[in-house]
Structure 1
Amino acid sequence: MVDDPVATLRRFNRSWSQRVGVLDESFLGSGRPLGPSRLLFELRGGGSSVRELRERMDLDSGYLSRLLRQLESEGLIAVTPDPADARRRIATLTKRGVAAQQDLDDRSDSLAHGLVDALSDRQRVRLAESLDQADRLIRAATVSLDLVDPGSEHARTAVAAYFQELDETFEGGFDVAAGAADEQTLGGATGRFLVAVSGGVVVGCGGLQSLSDDVGEIKRMWVHHDWRGLGLAGRLLRRLEEESLALGHRVVRLDTNSSLAEALAMYRAAGYVEIPRYNDNPYPDHWFEKRF
């Protein structure tokens, strides 16, 4: 019988943190603790802005600044103004930093081999599959759903990815200019726009506009293909329904295309019923509504 998931997660955390040396003052025997070591991992392959690091690592600004100063004092990184925007700072590995990061990689590989080499081939496959699934579920559980302005950078990034997918999916493509026309209605006092964010990266979105005082419409529902099958679309849908209720709507509507089979199944499972066409959108062939 499977334990309570909270108890299972706590037991795994204790076991894993002990075996990988999270609590050691010298992580992986590198001479520095986990925090600065983790930052070195994040800086591989080129520089990152301090803002991107803070979002990706989900760190407090003060703590991140201390980590950056520590690595800078060791000569492992350089923190310089961004040539494109002097208000931003860019952190990059120095030559010594690249060597230190490679040393951490080698130590980490050695530890991982030490953990799995005692297992049979079949056990290794089971472990890899289980950890991959656990990683996906943990990441899905920690995605934040943020209300943003529909003209914000995150919103535009998400909608651009959504439009590109529609263009690749629909026979005859998708007219981006026509799709962008409703941006103004998804914000302000009568609209909402949500982005799903993980580690500073946008992985989904959804919008809501008011068709009347009593009727709302869900728009731009999208989840990155790498994040599908983890319940994120359902979370977005439920949150948009809550926002619709908060705006005073008693009915929420949406439209979709039959080529989006997963979306059709989700809406029906969530209690949406098909209704006649209610708009002049040229792309959908199914129209739904749900009454609260």
Structure 2
Amino acid sequence: MVTIRPTRVDSPDAHGLLEEYFALRAANFPGGGYRVNMPPSDAFTADGDAFVVLYDGEEPAGCGGIRRITDGPAGPRWEVKHLYVCDAGRGRGWGRRILEDLERRAAEAGAAEVVLDTHHSLDAAGALYARSGYVAIEPYNDNANATRWYGKTL
């Protein structure tokens, strides 16, 4: 059974998934130079923020977070961060499940808009965001690893 549970970003399950994600991105980043930014233990702890882990049974298989950032044109805005599904979970709709869970949490916290950044080399991620109603927006941050920015009004 697949479940999604909120957790601290520094929990062993979340930390293990993030290490796997960052290693994979560093190994496959075009031209090298991927900057690893392990979130600090107090990340995703502000009111309305959340970090979740998707479990396949009791096995951690995916993760993602949502955090409040500066308001945007539509009003209160949250950012999706570190959306990741392990190799064995790809193609099973788990990324969409995590994304929908994060959007729900943001909406419950008062978000008018959800945004995210990604890299153009992540084709599956871009396709997930497009299927989920995200549209291209102007950059809202200076993330050196990002080449595309997306937003969705809730």
> Does the alignment reach a TM-score above 0.5?
yes
Q: Distance in 2 between matches of 1:228 and 1:180?
A: 23
**What is the deviation of 1:173?**
4.1
1:243 aligns with 2:105: yes
User: TM-score by structure 2 length?
Assistant: 0.91
Q: CA deviation at 1:284?
A: 0.7
CA distance in structure 2 between the aligned counterparts of 1:197 and 1:185, rounded to whole angstroms: 21
Distance of 1:231 and 1:245 partners within structure 2: 21
Gaps of 5+ in 2: none
Identify the residue that residue 6 of structure 2 maps to in structure 1. Answer: 147
Q: Pick from 153, 162, 166 the counterpart of residue 25 of structure 2.
A: 166
Structure 2 residue 87 is the aligned partner of structure 1 residue 225 = yes
- Say which SS state the counterpart of residue 42 (structure 2) adopts: helix
> Which structure features the higher share of helix residues?
1
1:270 partner amino acid: S
- Find the counterpart in structure 2 of residue 91 from structure 1: none
CA offsets per residue over residues 211-253 of structure 1, 9 Å max, x none? 0361000000000111111111110110000000011110000
Pick from 38, 41, 44 the counterpart of residue 186 of structure 1.
44
CA distance in 1, matches of 2:149, 2:123: 14
Task: Give 1:202's match in structure 2, choosing from 60, 73, 87.
Answer: 60
1:215/1:182 CA distance change after superposition, 3 Å = farther
Q: Does the 8 A contact of 1:186 with 1:208 survive in 2?
A: yes
1:262 alignment partner AA: A
Could you tell me how far apart the structure 1 residues matched to 2:131 and 2:41 are?
A: 28
Contact persistence 1:205–1:222 (CA under 8 A): yes
Q: How many residues align?
A: 149
Counterparts of 1:253 and 1:182, CA distance in 2: 21
Q: Return the index of the structure with the highest Cα Rg.
A: 1
CA distance in structure 2 between the partners assigned to 1:181 and 1:152 by the alignment = 12
Distance 2:121 2:88 in 1: 19
Q: 1 CA distance for matches of 2:114 and 2:137?
A: 12
1:283 to partner: Cα distance:
0.6
> Higher strand fraction: Structure 1 or Structure 2?
2
